[in-house]
Chains A and B, each alone.
Chain A
Amino acid sequence: MEKADKKEYILSLLVNNKPDVLARIAGTLGGKGYNIDSLCVDVTMNPEISKIILTTRASKIMIGRVVNALSKLVDVVRVDNLSEVESIKREMILIRMNLLKETKPELMKTIDTLNCKILTFNTDHCVLQFTGSREDIDKVLATLKPLGIDDIARTGAAAMERKY
């Protein structure tokens, strides 16, 4: 039953920008048996506070317990469940492509239609940047895959409430 109604939740945490804080958060989730599927951390406008955006799969009742347990940590200032409000999520990906004679013309066309940004370009490789929703990124990857991906680096999702 528990498994069946699991869905993905996205949490936004404001935490003290101190060593050890991420370990405490990871430990709290891991200790309860949750995997962090995606993670995105950086400092906020206030250098003493960092924002952590993480996604995890849980049931509705369990995510409440996770939020409570995280809120209890001394270094956690605030926890918002962005899945409960209307929020915008974006991820960024860097893709390094192998440049081969036979695929290059096709690749150039594809880059254009996909709206990817070219960051570097030389004889053997090029590095592309793309920003969008998780689904958009998956689509881009699927399209580029036959054209020779060398390596990728995905950021976790950054997200915030839309607010009107």
Chain B
Amino acid sequence: MLKEENVDTIFGYPGGSVIDIYDELYRSDIRHVLVRHEQGAVHAADGYARASGKVGVALVTSGPGATNTVTGIATAHSDSIPIVVFTGQVPTTLIGNDAFQESDITGITRPCTKHNFLVRNVEELAATIKEAFHIARSGRPGPVLVDLPKNVMASMAEYDPSSIVIKTVEPLHKASSKKYLQAMDFLKESKCPVVLIGGGVLLGKAPEELRTFIEKTRIPVTSTLMGLGGFPGTHPLWLGMLGMHGTYYANMAISHCDLLIAMGVRFSDRVTGKIETFAANAKIIHIDVDPSSINKNVVVDLPIVSDIKVALQHIARLLEEQQFKLNEAERQKWLDQIDAWKKEVPLTYCQNGDIIKPQFVIEKLFELTRGKAIITTEVGQNQMWAAQFYRYENPYTFISSGGLGTMGYGFPAAIGVQCAFPDALVVDIAGDGSIQMNIQEMATAVQYNLPVKIVLLNNGYLGMVRQWQELFYDKRYSHTEMMYAPDFVKVAEAYGFVGLRATKPEEVEPILKQGLATPKPVLMEFRVAREECVYPMVRPGGSLSEMTLGTREMIN
């Protein structure tokens, strides 16, 4: 049954209520990866799904096993990631009795799943599983939870695939051709357009169509955190990320453009800053598969509810039919303006003295991997530097908890990615706070010979919160200093990782080279400048055009 859904890997953790399923797995050739904490199982399934485009699967027991998945499910929900989580449940006869290891997990996860099911009898089982996978991957994807009572799992039923008809058919929203014609008019009128891409471009498997569109129209492209990788990071029309920690030129381009074509985004507050001034001079076209995203945070001029791939194909046809010619002189003027912004305030930092700057580590990592590694991140400063200083050449190579901002996501996600692509170079960019939230998964990586690499930027602080305290709370560093931390290299070695450490800038490159070349799980710890801040920064609730750029020395 699971194999029919193309499931080859399950991330799980056994327990009393799922012992019957585990007994079946004992005889099955489906690969099961035993994690060390249920949260890790869901993050791994999520990482697996983001990298491979398939549905990720996790299997855990009832009660605490199920409740431990909640953070992972909410993470996948925020970023619209297709996963199916199977949870054990006490026998149907005991449900509601406060039985041992009972929790109302369908009740608990109702607001953070796309949908969930409690399977009440074995006859429903096959159809429910089919439907769960269908819901997880169709339309705007998302996590689905299937709760499986022990007695249902212990019974047998005949399975006849032909008897199952999927009832929930999501309407494929086809926007009217009138809307597309209007979009073409906007495009022709516009002197300084910008394309904004989000995670929807990746989920909709449309990076190729996007590239074709951009090459025809020569519109500069910026991206949300979730859209990174959707457009090549070294392309001349690439502006980098926008928003709170976006590049100066991306935010300036948004603030000055006269047409914003947004694809697969939901206009999060971290992206828009102050809504009233966001793209204030622009007409906005918003293409998204989910009608509930339209006009949710930003009121747009032209909504197109559609699968992004379909929409871009339609637009490509129109460009062809109408023999679209762009006004080269006008476009060049706009691109020159953007270039001027790029020169005025490039994305930069200052590496001098004998303290390692975290940005320097990421930049070196980019150079050494030529943008070809699959990067996962934790959350906080490490995540922002990974977004700013690594340039993602290919789609599905930047994997990060964007919406929920889950610390402890990156490392188990890297394990999931490595399971999907055993030969790929998978690197988790971590901070010393986040890595300790799921550090137990080191055992998982070692057990399954998953050669994931951890680049640990250790500044001894919960750096992003410390940065806010520095900037907005008069440097009152309330409980953000990690007064005690373990020796990470020794921890790594104790788990069977290779542990490496760099404390000086000149050690960065050799350590990275050595670590990346080691065909085993490796943790590379970099002792970095303790009070480095992420810049540029838009104050929470501020306008995108009013960025704090950092001190002058940093920019020069």
| Chain A residues with a Cβ under 8 A of chain B | 20, 23-24, 27, 31, 61, 64-65, 68-69, 71-75
Residues of A within 8 Å of B168, CB to CB, are 74
Residues of B within 8 Å of A69, CB to CB, are 292
CA gap between A74 and B135 in the complex, in Å = 8
Is B179 located at the chain interface by the 8 A CB criterion?
A: no
**Chain B, range 166-197, C-beta contacts under 8 Å to A:** 168
If A31-B111, A74-B115 touch, does A65 touch B106 (CB 8 Å cutoff)? no
Is B357 located at the chain interface by the 8 A CB criterion?
A: no
Residues of A within 8 Å of B333, CB to CB, are none
| Chain B residues with a Cβ under 8 A of chain A | 106-107, 110-111, 114-115, 118, 135, 168, 290-292, 294-296, 299
B290 lies within 8 A of A72 (CB): yes
B292 lies within 8 A of A72 (CB): yes
Main SS at interface, chain A: helix
A64 lies within 8 A of B295 (CB): yes
What's the minimum C-beta distance from B108 to chain A, rounded to whole angstroms? 11
- Pick from B114, B115, B292: contact of A65, CB below 8 A: B292
CA gap between A69 and B266 in the complex, in Å = 14
CA gap between A23 and B291 in the complex, in Å = 22
Q: Name 24 interchain pairs, CB-CB below 8 A, sorted by A.
A: A20-B106, A20-B110, A23-B107, A27-B110, A27-B111, A31-B111, A61-B299, A64-B295, A65-B292, A65-B295, A65-B296, A68-B291, A68-B292, A68-B294, A69-B292, A71-B291, A71-B292, A72-B290, A72-B291, A72-B292, A73-B115, A74-B114, A74-B135, A74-B168
Residue of B with least CB distance to A65: B296
Query: Would you list the 10 A-B pairs with minimal beta carbon distance, nearest first?
Result: A68-B292, A74-B115, A69-B292, A68-B291, A72-B292, A74-B168, A27-B111, A31-B111, A27-B110, A65-B296
CA gap between A74 and B132 in the complex, in Å = 11
> How many CB-defined contacts (below 8 Å) exist between A and B?
30
B291 lies within 8 A of A24 (CB): no
What's the minimum C-beta distance from B103 to chain A, rounded to whole angstroms? 16
Residues of A within 8 Å of B291, CB to CB, are 68, 71-72
What's the minimum C-beta distance from B232 to chain A, rounded to whole angstroms? 33
CA gap between A64 and B296 in the complex, in Å = 9
Residue of B with least CB distance to A23: B110
Given contacts A65-B292, A71-B292, A75-B115, 18 further A-B contacts (CB under 8 A): A20-B110, A20-B118, A23-B107, A24-B110, A27-B110, A27-B111, A61-B295, A64-B295, A65-B295, A65-B296, A68-B292, A71-B291, A72-B290, A72-B291, A72-B292, A73-B115, A74-B135, A74-B168
CA gap between A137 and B325 in the complex, in Å = 66
Residues of A within 8 Å of B106, CB to CB, are 20
What's the minimum C-beta distance from A21 to chain B, rounded to whole angstroms? 11
Residues of A within 8 Å of B114, CB to CB, are 74
CA gap between A97 and B301 in the complex, in Å = 57
Residues of A within 8 Å of B110, CB to CB, are 20, 23-24, 27
What's the minimum C-beta distance from A76 to chain B, rounded to whole angstroms? 10
CA gap between A138 and B284 in the complex, in Å = 47
Residue of B with least CB distance to A66: B292
Residues of A within 8 Å of B296, CB to CB, are 65
Residues of A within 8 Å of B118, CB to CB, are 20
What's the minimum C-beta distance from B290 to chain A, rounded to whole angstroms? 7
CA gap between A20 and B120 in the complex, in Å = 13
Residue of B with least CB distance to A68: B292
CA gap between A70 and B291 in the complex, in Å = 11
What's the minimum C-beta distance from B64 to chain A, rounded to whole angstroms? 23
CA gap between A71 and B115 in the complex, in Å = 13
CA gap between A20 and B116 in the complex, in Å = 10
Residues of B within 8 Å of A71, CB to CB, are 291-292
Residues of B within 8 Å of A64, CB to CB, are 295
